[in-house]
Amino acid sequence: EELQARYSNANPRSRVHLSTARQVLPGGNTRAALHYDPFPVFIESAEGARVIDVDGHSYMDFANDLTAGFYGHSHPVILAGIRSALDNGISFGGPHRYEEALAKAICSRFSSIERVRFGNSGTEANLMAIGLARAVTGRPLVLAFHGGYHGSFANYLGAEMPLNVDKPRLRFARFNDEEDVRRVLEKDGAQTAAIIIEPMMGSGGGILADPTFLANLRVIADECGALLIFDEVQTARFSPGGLQDLVKVRTDLTTLGKSLGGGLTFGALGGRADLMDRLDPSLPGAIGHGGTFNNNVLTMIAGQVGLTKVATAEALHGANARGDTLRQSLLAAARARGPVLSIGAYGSILSLHFQPKAPRNPAEIATTPVQRKLFQLDMLLRGFYVQRRGTINLSLATTDEDCTAFTEAFGGFLDRYSAFLP
Ligand code: PLP
Protein backbone atom coordinates (compact mmCIF):
# COMPACT_ATOMS: atom_id res chain seq x y z
CA GLU A 1 0.00 0.00 0.00
CA GLU A 2 2.81 2.35 0.87
CA LEU A 3 4.42 1.56 -2.49
CA GLN A 4 1.18 2.05 -4.36
CA ALA A 5 0.66 5.44 -2.70
CA ARG A 6 4.19 6.51 -3.59
CA TYR A 7 3.63 5.37 -7.16
CA SER A 8 0.31 7.21 -7.45
CA ASN A 9 1.78 10.42 -6.05
CA ALA A 10 4.71 10.25 -8.43
CA ASN A 11 2.49 9.88 -11.50
CA PRO A 12 -0.39 12.38 -11.28
CA ARG A 13 -0.70 12.98 -15.02
CA SER A 14 -0.72 9.29 -15.88
CA ARG A 15 -3.44 8.80 -13.28
CA VAL A 16 -5.62 11.45 -14.91
CA HIS A 17 -4.93 10.00 -18.35
CA LEU A 18 -6.27 6.65 -17.30
CA SER A 19 -9.56 8.12 -16.16
CA THR A 20 -10.11 10.21 -19.29
CA ALA A 21 -8.98 7.43 -21.66
CA ARG A 22 -11.38 5.04 -19.91
CA GLN A 23 -14.30 7.05 -21.21
CA VAL A 24 -13.54 5.92 -24.74
CA LEU A 25 -11.30 2.86 -24.37
CA PRO A 26 -12.23 -0.11 -22.20
CA GLY A 27 -9.67 -0.06 -19.39
CA GLY A 28 -8.04 3.06 -20.86
CA ASN A 29 -5.96 1.46 -23.59
CA THR A 30 -6.06 -0.95 -26.51
CA ARG A 31 -3.45 -3.41 -25.33
CA ALA A 32 -4.60 -5.59 -22.48
CA ALA A 33 -1.04 -6.76 -21.81
CA LEU A 34 0.06 -3.23 -20.94
CA HIS A 35 -2.57 -2.62 -18.29
CA TYR A 36 -1.66 -2.95 -14.63
CA ASP A 37 -3.02 -1.61 -11.37
CA PRO A 38 -3.29 1.02 -10.04
CA PHE A 39 -2.71 2.49 -13.54
CA PRO A 40 0.00 2.26 -16.19
CA VAL A 41 2.34 5.17 -16.86
CA PHE A 42 1.37 6.91 -20.10
CA ILE A 43 4.27 7.27 -22.49
CA GLU A 44 4.99 10.58 -24.15
CA SER A 45 8.04 9.71 -26.24
CA ALA A 46 10.87 7.25 -26.65
CA GLU A 47 14.40 7.35 -27.94
CA GLY A 48 17.19 4.80 -28.00
CA ALA A 49 17.07 2.83 -24.76
CA ARG A 50 14.73 5.24 -22.96
CA VAL A 51 11.04 6.01 -22.68
CA ILE A 52 9.65 9.21 -21.19
CA ASP A 53 6.23 9.42 -19.58
CA VAL A 54 3.68 12.22 -19.35
CA ASP A 55 4.90 13.15 -15.86
CA GLY A 56 8.37 13.75 -17.26
CA HIS A 57 10.08 10.64 -15.87
CA SER A 58 12.77 9.21 -18.10
CA TYR A 59 13.05 5.43 -17.78
CA MET A 60 15.66 3.02 -19.00
CA ASP A 61 13.60 0.66 -21.08
CA PHE A 62 13.85 -2.99 -20.07
CA ALA A 63 10.38 -3.81 -21.41
CA ASN A 64 11.05 -2.81 -25.03
CA ASP A 65 7.48 -3.30 -26.14
CA LEU A 66 7.36 -6.89 -24.92
CA THR A 67 10.39 -7.72 -27.13
CA ALA A 68 9.06 -6.01 -30.28
CA GLY A 69 11.35 -3.04 -29.64
CA PHE A 70 14.55 -5.00 -30.16
CA TYR A 71 16.14 -2.31 -32.35
CA GLY A 72 15.77 0.33 -29.67
CA HIS A 73 13.53 3.35 -30.18
CA SER A 74 13.91 5.26 -33.45
CA HIS A 75 17.06 3.50 -34.61
CA PRO A 76 18.65 6.00 -37.03
CA VAL A 77 19.25 3.43 -39.79
CA ILE A 78 15.65 2.25 -39.68
CA LEU A 79 14.37 5.83 -39.55
CA ALA A 80 16.44 6.67 -42.62
CA GLY A 81 14.87 3.72 -44.45
CA ILE A 82 11.36 4.81 -43.52
CA ARG A 83 12.09 8.43 -44.45
CA SER A 84 13.30 7.34 -47.86
CA ALA A 85 9.84 5.85 -48.43
CA LEU A 86 7.68 8.58 -46.98
CA ASP A 87 7.69 10.84 -50.01
CA ASN A 88 7.23 7.98 -52.42
CA GLY A 89 3.80 6.75 -51.41
CA ILE A 90 3.12 4.77 -48.26
CA SER A 91 0.52 2.40 -49.65
CA PHE A 92 0.71 1.32 -53.27
CA GLY A 93 -2.03 -1.26 -53.53
CA GLY A 94 0.22 -3.40 -55.70
CA PRO A 95 3.22 -5.72 -55.38
CA HIS A 96 6.52 -3.90 -54.94
CA ARG A 97 10.23 -4.44 -54.63
CA TYR A 98 10.44 -3.77 -50.89
CA GLU A 99 8.21 -6.75 -50.25
CA GLU A 100 10.50 -8.98 -52.27
CA ALA A 101 13.57 -7.54 -50.55
CA LEU A 102 12.23 -8.32 -47.06
CA ALA A 103 11.19 -11.81 -48.20
CA LYS A 104 14.70 -12.43 -49.52
CA ALA A 105 16.26 -11.22 -46.29
CA ILE A 106 14.09 -13.62 -44.28
CA CYS A 107 14.54 -16.62 -46.59
CA SER A 108 18.30 -16.19 -46.56
CA ARG A 109 18.45 -16.19 -42.75
CA PHE A 110 16.11 -19.05 -41.81
CA SER A 111 17.15 -22.36 -43.31
CA SER A 112 13.63 -23.83 -43.06
CA ILE A 113 11.98 -20.84 -44.76
CA GLU A 114 11.87 -21.16 -48.53
CA ARG A 115 8.87 -18.89 -49.05
CA VAL A 116 7.25 -16.30 -46.83
CA ARG A 117 3.93 -14.46 -46.63
CA PHE A 118 3.36 -11.27 -44.72
CA GLY A 119 0.53 -10.11 -42.49
CA ASN A 120 -0.03 -7.48 -39.86
CA SER A 121 0.68 -9.26 -36.60
CA GLY A 122 2.01 -12.38 -34.98
CA THR A 123 -1.58 -13.36 -34.29
CA GLU A 124 -2.40 -13.29 -37.98
CA ALA A 125 0.74 -15.24 -38.81
CA ASN A 126 -0.24 -18.01 -36.40
CA LEU A 127 -3.84 -18.14 -37.57
CA MET A 128 -2.51 -18.37 -41.13
CA ALA A 129 -0.13 -21.18 -40.13
CA ILE A 130 -2.87 -23.16 -38.43
CA GLY A 131 -5.26 -22.61 -41.35
CA LEU A 132 -2.65 -23.68 -43.88
CA ALA A 133 -1.74 -26.78 -41.87
CA ARG A 134 -5.38 -27.82 -41.73
CA ALA A 135 -5.87 -27.21 -45.42
CA VAL A 136 -2.83 -29.15 -46.60
CA THR A 137 -3.27 -32.11 -44.25
CA GLY A 138 -7.07 -32.23 -44.41
CA ARG A 139 -7.06 -32.78 -40.64
CA PRO A 140 -8.96 -30.65 -38.12
CA LEU A 141 -7.00 -30.73 -34.86
CA VAL A 142 -4.01 -28.73 -33.63
CA LEU A 143 -1.84 -29.65 -30.66
CA ALA A 144 -0.69 -26.67 -28.62
CA PHE A 145 0.70 -26.26 -25.10
CA HIS A 146 -0.97 -25.27 -21.84
CA GLY A 147 -0.10 -21.66 -21.13
CA GLY A 148 1.08 -20.96 -24.68
CA TYR A 149 0.43 -17.65 -26.37
CA HIS A 150 0.23 -17.31 -30.12
CA GLY A 151 -1.73 -14.05 -30.20
CA SER A 152 -4.94 -12.44 -29.15
CA PHE A 153 -7.21 -15.01 -30.81
CA ALA A 154 -4.71 -17.81 -30.25
CA ASN A 155 -4.31 -17.22 -26.54
CA TYR A 156 -3.95 -20.41 -24.50
CA LEU A 157 -2.88 -18.75 -21.27
CA GLY A 158 -6.16 -19.21 -19.44
CA ALA A 159 -8.51 -22.13 -19.17
CA GLU A 160 -11.48 -20.16 -20.51
CA MET A 161 -9.91 -18.57 -23.59
CA PRO A 162 -13.12 -16.60 -24.25
CA LEU A 163 -11.93 -14.93 -27.45
CA ASN A 164 -10.69 -18.19 -28.87
CA VAL A 165 -13.18 -19.33 -31.48
CA ASP A 166 -11.11 -22.41 -32.21
CA LYS A 167 -11.30 -24.15 -28.84
CA PRO A 168 -13.06 -27.38 -29.88
CA ARG A 169 -10.37 -28.11 -32.45
CA LEU A 170 -7.43 -27.67 -30.09
CA ARG A 171 -5.66 -30.25 -28.00
CA PHE A 172 -3.21 -29.36 -25.24
CA ALA A 173 -0.14 -30.99 -23.75
CA ARG A 174 2.28 -29.93 -21.03
CA PHE A 175 5.25 -27.90 -22.18
CA ASN A 176 8.57 -29.76 -22.00
CA ASP A 177 6.79 -33.07 -21.44
CA GLU A 178 7.22 -35.55 -24.27
CA GLU A 179 5.17 -38.24 -22.54
CA ASP A 180 2.21 -35.91 -22.33
CA VAL A 181 2.49 -35.08 -26.03
CA ARG A 182 2.53 -38.79 -26.85
CA ARG A 183 -0.45 -39.39 -24.57
CA VAL A 184 -2.54 -36.78 -26.40
CA LEU A 185 -1.49 -37.91 -29.84
CA GLU A 186 -2.06 -41.57 -29.11
CA LYS A 187 -5.73 -40.76 -29.22
CA ASP A 188 -5.86 -37.88 -31.70
CA GLY A 189 -2.67 -38.17 -33.75
CA ALA A 190 -4.38 -39.28 -36.96
CA GLN A 191 -6.63 -36.23 -36.83
CA THR A 192 -3.88 -33.74 -35.94
CA ALA A 193 -2.82 -31.25 -38.60
CA ALA A 194 0.00 -29.61 -36.65
CA ILE A 195 1.92 -29.22 -33.45
CA ILE A 196 2.43 -25.53 -32.71
CA ILE A 197 4.94 -24.43 -30.10
CA GLU A 198 6.85 -21.41 -28.90
CA PRO A 199 10.41 -22.74 -28.55
CA MET A 200 10.56 -20.32 -25.64
CA MET A 201 7.21 -19.57 -24.04
CA GLY A 202 7.01 -15.79 -23.97
CA SER A 203 3.82 -14.58 -22.27
CA GLY A 204 3.59 -17.92 -20.46
CA GLY A 205 6.61 -16.99 -18.35
CA GLY A 206 9.81 -16.84 -20.40
CA ILE A 207 10.26 -20.63 -20.32
CA LEU A 208 12.77 -22.19 -22.66
CA ALA A 209 11.97 -25.54 -24.27
CA ASP A 210 14.59 -28.26 -23.80
CA PRO A 211 16.46 -28.82 -27.08
CA THR A 212 15.80 -32.57 -26.81
CA PHE A 213 12.09 -31.92 -26.29
CA LEU A 214 12.02 -29.85 -29.49
CA ALA A 215 13.98 -32.51 -31.38
CA ASN A 216 11.55 -35.16 -30.15
CA LEU A 217 8.60 -33.09 -31.32
CA ARG A 218 10.06 -33.26 -34.82
CA VAL A 219 10.13 -37.06 -34.60
CA ILE A 220 6.64 -37.26 -33.11
CA ALA A 221 5.18 -34.93 -35.75
CA ASP A 222 6.66 -37.10 -38.49
CA GLU A 223 5.34 -40.26 -36.86
CA CYS A 224 1.76 -39.02 -36.93
CA GLY A 225 1.94 -37.02 -40.17
CA ALA A 226 1.43 -33.62 -38.54
CA LEU A 227 3.31 -30.45 -39.43
CA LEU A 228 5.67 -28.88 -36.91
CA ILE A 229 5.17 -25.14 -36.47
CA PHE A 230 7.56 -23.01 -34.42
CA ASP A 231 6.19 -19.68 -33.28
CA GLU A 232 9.38 -17.61 -33.33
CA VAL A 233 7.61 -14.28 -32.89
CA GLN A 234 9.77 -13.63 -29.82
CA THR A 235 12.70 -15.98 -30.35
CA ALA A 236 13.80 -15.00 -33.86
CA ARG A 237 16.15 -12.48 -32.21
CA PHE A 238 18.32 -15.17 -30.63
CA SER A 239 20.28 -15.89 -33.82
CA PRO A 240 20.02 -14.93 -37.50
CA GLY A 241 18.19 -18.22 -38.11
CA GLY A 242 16.11 -18.03 -34.93
CA LEU A 243 16.01 -20.45 -32.04
CA GLN A 244 15.41 -23.34 -34.44
CA ASP A 245 18.87 -22.79 -35.83
CA LEU A 246 20.43 -22.89 -32.36
CA VAL A 247 18.78 -26.22 -31.54
CA LYS A 248 19.06 -27.58 -35.10
CA VAL A 249 15.45 -28.59 -35.46
CA ARG A 250 13.97 -28.26 -38.92
CA THR A 251 10.41 -26.98 -38.85
CA ASP A 252 7.76 -27.20 -41.55
CA LEU A 253 6.34 -23.75 -40.85
CA THR A 254 7.60 -20.81 -38.81
CA THR A 255 5.78 -17.71 -37.67
CA LEU A 256 7.51 -14.39 -37.15
CA GLY A 257 6.49 -10.99 -35.86
CA LYS A 258 7.46 -8.26 -33.44
CA SER A 259 10.90 -6.80 -34.15
CA LEU A 260 11.31 -8.38 -37.58
CA GLY A 261 9.10 -5.63 -38.97
CA GLY A 262 11.68 -3.07 -37.85
CA GLY A 263 9.37 -1.94 -35.07
CA LEU A 264 6.30 -1.44 -37.25
CA THR A 265 3.19 -3.59 -37.34
CA PHE A 266 4.18 -6.97 -38.75
CA GLY A 267 3.66 -10.71 -38.92
CA ALA A 268 4.92 -13.39 -41.27
CA LEU A 269 4.47 -17.06 -42.05
CA GLY A 270 7.32 -18.90 -43.71
CA GLY A 271 8.23 -22.47 -44.46
CA ARG A 272 8.63 -25.29 -46.93
CA ALA A 273 8.01 -24.28 -50.53
CA ASP A 274 5.57 -27.12 -51.23
CA LEU A 275 3.39 -26.06 -48.30
CA MET A 276 3.66 -22.31 -48.82
CA ASP A 277 2.97 -22.60 -52.55
CA ARG A 278 -0.53 -23.74 -51.71
CA LEU A 279 -1.07 -20.00 -51.15
CA ASP A 280 -0.03 -19.19 -54.73
CA PRO A 281 -3.15 -17.63 -56.26
CA SER A 282 -2.17 -18.67 -59.78
CA LEU A 283 -2.40 -22.37 -58.95
CA PRO A 284 -5.63 -24.38 -59.12
CA GLY A 285 -7.09 -24.92 -55.64
CA ALA A 286 -5.08 -22.09 -54.15
CA ILE A 287 -5.82 -21.23 -50.54
CA GLY A 288 -6.94 -17.62 -50.35
CA HIS A 289 -5.14 -15.33 -47.95
CA GLY A 290 -6.01 -11.66 -48.11
CA GLY A 291 -5.02 -8.58 -46.16
CA THR A 292 -5.05 -4.94 -47.27
CA PHE A 293 -1.90 -4.04 -45.39
CA ASN A 294 0.00 -7.31 -45.78
CA ASN A 295 2.70 -5.66 -47.89
CA ASN A 296 2.59 -2.20 -46.38
CA VAL A 297 5.51 -0.25 -47.68
CA LEU A 298 6.82 1.20 -44.43
CA THR A 299 6.99 -2.15 -42.65
CA MET A 300 8.60 -3.86 -45.63
CA ILE A 301 11.33 -1.22 -45.75
CA ALA A 302 11.84 -1.01 -41.98
CA GLY A 303 12.00 -4.79 -41.72
CA GLN A 304 14.45 -5.20 -44.55
CA VAL A 305 16.75 -2.40 -43.42
CA GLY A 306 16.62 -3.73 -39.87
CA LEU A 307 17.51 -7.29 -40.86
CA THR A 308 20.22 -6.44 -43.34
CA LYS A 309 21.86 -3.45 -41.68
CA VAL A 310 21.16 -3.63 -37.96
CA ALA A 311 20.36 -7.15 -36.77
CA THR A 312 23.67 -8.64 -37.88
CA ALA A 313 24.89 -11.92 -36.40
CA GLU A 314 27.35 -9.93 -34.26
CA ALA A 315 24.65 -7.60 -32.99
CA LEU A 316 22.40 -10.52 -31.98
CA HIS A 317 25.28 -12.33 -30.36
CA GLY A 318 26.30 -9.15 -28.52
CA ALA A 319 22.79 -8.70 -27.13
CA ASN A 320 22.70 -12.33 -25.95
CA ALA A 321 26.11 -11.98 -24.32
CA ARG A 322 25.05 -8.76 -22.57
CA GLY A 323 21.91 -10.52 -21.38
CA ASP A 324 23.97 -13.40 -20.01
CA THR A 325 26.22 -11.00 -18.12
CA LEU A 326 23.16 -9.27 -16.68
CA ARG A 327 21.76 -12.68 -15.73
CA GLN A 328 24.90 -13.48 -13.75
CA SER A 329 24.98 -10.12 -12.00
CA LEU A 330 21.31 -10.26 -11.01
CA LEU A 331 21.77 -13.76 -9.60
CA ALA A 332 24.87 -12.57 -7.73
CA ALA A 333 22.94 -9.58 -6.35
CA ALA A 334 20.25 -11.92 -5.02
CA ARG A 335 22.79 -14.40 -3.61
CA ALA A 336 24.60 -11.60 -1.78
CA ARG A 337 21.37 -10.44 -0.16
CA GLY A 338 19.48 -13.64 0.53
CA PRO A 339 16.25 -13.73 -1.53
CA VAL A 340 15.79 -16.72 -3.78
CA LEU A 341 15.97 -15.93 -7.50
CA SER A 342 16.11 -17.98 -10.68
CA ILE A 343 16.31 -16.60 -14.18
CA GLY A 344 14.85 -18.34 -17.19
CA ALA A 345 14.54 -17.58 -20.93
CA TYR A 346 17.64 -17.08 -23.06
CA GLY A 347 20.26 -14.50 -24.02
CA SER A 348 18.73 -11.07 -24.44
CA ILE A 349 15.44 -12.09 -22.78
CA LEU A 350 15.47 -12.81 -19.03
CA SER A 351 12.55 -14.08 -16.96
CA LEU A 352 12.88 -13.43 -13.24
CA HIS A 353 11.30 -15.90 -10.85
CA PHE A 354 11.47 -15.67 -7.07
CA GLN A 355 11.85 -19.42 -6.64
CA PRO A 356 14.81 -21.80 -6.44
CA LYS A 357 14.49 -23.31 -9.92
CA ALA A 358 13.29 -21.69 -13.13
CA PRO A 359 9.94 -23.23 -14.12
CA ARG A 360 9.88 -25.80 -16.92
CA ASN A 361 6.22 -25.16 -17.64
CA PRO A 362 3.71 -22.51 -16.52
CA ALA A 363 2.28 -24.74 -13.77
CA GLU A 364 5.65 -24.56 -11.99
CA ILE A 365 5.61 -20.76 -11.69
CA ALA A 366 5.64 -19.96 -7.97
CA THR A 367 6.25 -16.20 -8.02
CA THR A 368 3.13 -14.50 -6.67
CA PRO A 369 1.17 -11.57 -8.17
CA VAL A 370 2.14 -9.45 -5.12
CA GLN A 371 5.84 -10.09 -5.71
CA ARG A 372 5.43 -9.18 -9.38
CA LYS A 373 3.63 -5.98 -8.47
CA LEU A 374 6.29 -4.94 -5.94
CA PHE A 375 9.00 -5.61 -8.50
CA GLN A 376 7.30 -3.61 -11.22
CA LEU A 377 6.16 -0.54 -9.26
CA ASP A 378 9.41 -0.30 -7.30
CA MET A 379 11.58 -0.60 -10.41
CA LEU A 380 9.44 2.02 -12.18
CA LEU A 381 9.98 4.38 -9.25
CA ARG A 382 13.72 3.71 -9.56
CA GLY A 383 13.59 4.71 -13.23
CA PHE A 384 13.43 1.36 -15.01
CA TYR A 385 10.56 0.58 -17.34
CA VAL A 386 9.53 -3.04 -16.77
CA GLN A 387 6.32 -4.98 -17.25
CA ARG A 388 4.62 -6.84 -14.47
CA ARG A 389 5.15 -10.26 -15.96
CA GLY A 390 8.74 -10.15 -14.66
CA THR A 391 10.34 -10.80 -18.00
CA ILE A 392 12.85 -8.16 -19.01
CA ASN A 393 14.57 -7.89 -22.34
CA LEU A 394 17.41 -5.93 -23.86
CA SER A 395 17.30 -3.96 -27.06
CA LEU A 396 20.24 -3.31 -29.31
CA ALA A 397 20.37 0.14 -27.73
CA THR A 398 20.84 -1.25 -24.20
CA THR A 399 24.42 -0.73 -22.98
CA ASP A 400 26.58 -2.44 -20.37
CA GLU A 401 26.16 0.68 -18.21
CA ASP A 402 22.37 0.38 -18.44
CA CYS A 403 22.65 -3.23 -17.26
CA THR A 404 24.92 -2.25 -14.36
CA ALA A 405 22.45 0.46 -13.35
CA PHE A 406 19.61 -2.05 -13.57
CA THR A 407 21.49 -4.48 -11.32
CA GLU A 408 22.09 -1.78 -8.72
CA ALA A 409 18.45 -0.77 -8.74
CA PHE A 410 17.38 -4.41 -8.51
CA GLY A 411 19.63 -4.79 -5.46
CA GLY A 412 17.82 -1.81 -3.93
CA PHE A 413 14.49 -3.49 -4.65
CA LEU A 414 15.66 -6.75 -3.03
CA ASP A 415 16.85 -4.87 0.07
CA ARG A 416 13.64 -2.97 0.44
CA TYR A 417 11.19 -5.81 -0.12
CA SER A 418 13.10 -8.87 1.09
CA ALA A 419 10.34 -9.55 3.63
CA PHE A 420 7.99 -10.30 0.72
CA LEU A 421 10.44 -12.55 -1.10
CA PRO A 422 11.35 -16.17 -0.40
N1 PLP B 1 3.34 -15.34 -30.64
C2 PLP B 1 4.11 -15.00 -29.61
C3 PLP B 1 5.12 -15.97 -29.11
C4 PLP B 1 3.97 -13.75 -29.00
O5 PLP B 1 4.73 -13.43 -27.95
C6 PLP B 1 3.02 -12.85 -29.52
C7 PLP B 1 2.83 -11.50 -28.95
O8 PLP B 1 2.98 -11.23 -27.80
C9 PLP B 1 2.25 -13.24 -30.59
C10 PLP B 1 2.44 -14.48 -31.15
C11 PLP B 1 1.22 -12.33 -31.17
O12 PLP B 1 1.79 -11.31 -31.90
P13 PLP B 1 0.96 -9.95 -32.13
O14 PLP B 1 0.81 -9.31 -30.80
O15 PLP B 1 1.78 -9.19 -33.11
O16 PLP B 1 -0.37 -10.36 -32.71
- Statement: residue 167 has pLDDT above 90: no
In this structure, the answer to whether residues 157 and 213 fall within a common structural domain is: yes
Mutate to test the pocket of ligand 1, among 66, 200, 229, 234 (most ligand atoms within 8 A of CB): 234
In ligand 1, the atom with minimum distance to the C-alpha of 203 is 5
In this structure, the answer to whether residues 99 and 242 fall within a common structural domain is: yes
CA-CA-CA-CA torsion sign (47, 50, 52, 57): negative
In this structure, the answer to whether residues 33 and 174 fall within a common structural domain is: no
Q: What is the pLDDT of residues 231-279, one digit of tens each?
A: 999 999 999 999 999 999 999 999 999 999 999 999 999 999 999 999 9
In this structure, the answer to whether residues 125 and 226 fall within a common structural domain is: yes
In this structure, the answer to whether residues 355 and 365 fall within a common structural domain is: yes
Ligand 1 center–CA 334 separation, angstroms: 31
In this structure, the answer to whether residues 267 and 381 fall within a common structural domain is: no
Determine contact, residues 200/206, Cβ cutoff 8 Å.
yes
**Residues whose CB is less than 8 angstroms from the CB of residue 131 and which lie 6 or more positions away in sequence, other chains included:** 287
Structural domains of the chain, count: 2
Q: Quick check: CB of 299 below 6 Å from ligand 1? A: no
Residue having the nearest C-alpha atom to atom 1 of ligand 1: 150
The order of strands in the sheet holding 58-61 is 43-47, 50-53, 58-61, 384-385
Determine contact, residues 193/133, Cβ cutoff 8 Å.
yes
For residue 230, the domain's CATH number is 3.40.640.10
In ligand 1, the atom with minimum distance to the C-alpha of 267 is 15
In this structure, the answer to whether residues 373 and 271 fall within a common structural domain is: no
Among the ranges given (45-59, 60-74, 157-171, 199-213), the one the predictor scored with the smallest mean pLDDT: 157-171
Q: Quick check: CB of 66 below 6 Å from ligand 1? A: yes
Of 282, 310, 338, the residue at which a domain comes to its end is 310
Highest mean pLDDT among 147-151, 286-290, 404-408: 404-408
Residue having the nearest C-alpha atom to atom 8 of ligand 1: 151
- Statement: residue 159 has pLDDT above 80: no
Q: Quick check: CB of 207 below 6 Å from ligand 1? A: no
Of 283, 310, 337, the residue at which a domain comes to its end is 310
Q: For residue 94, what pLDDT is reported? A: 95
Strands 192-197 and 115-119: unpaired
Eight-state DSSP code of residue 389: T
Q: Quick check: CB of 67 below 6 Å from ligand 1? A: no
In this structure, the answer to whether residues 102 and 8 fall within a common structural domain is: no
Give the side-chain half-sphere CA count within 13 A for 179. Answer: 0
**Residues whose CB is less than 8 angstroms from the CB of residue 130 and which lie 6 or more positions away in sequence, other chains included:** 142, 154, 166, 193, 194, 196, 229
In this structure, the answer to whether residues 24 and 118 fall within a common structural domain is: no
Measured from the Cβ of residue 410, the count of other Cβ atoms closer than 10 Å reads 26
- Per-position DSSP letters for 110-150, written without gaps between them: -TT-SEEEEESSHHHHHHHHHHHHHHHH---EEEEETT-B-
- Domain range for 401 is 2-70+312-420
In this structure, the answer to whether residues 99 and 50 fall within a common structural domain is: no
Q: Quick check: CB of 267 below 6 Å from ligand 1? A: yes
Of 284, 310, 336, the residue at which a domain comes to its end is 310
H/E run at residue 45: strand 43-47
| pTM of the full structure | 0.97
In this structure, the answer to whether residues 209 and 342 fall within a common structural domain is: no
> Could you give the 3-state DSSP secondary structure of residue 366?
coil
In this structure, the answer to whether residues 24 and 138 fall within a common structural domain is: no
State the average pLDDT over residues 22-43. 92
Q: Quick check: CB of 121 below 6 Å from ligand 1? A: yes
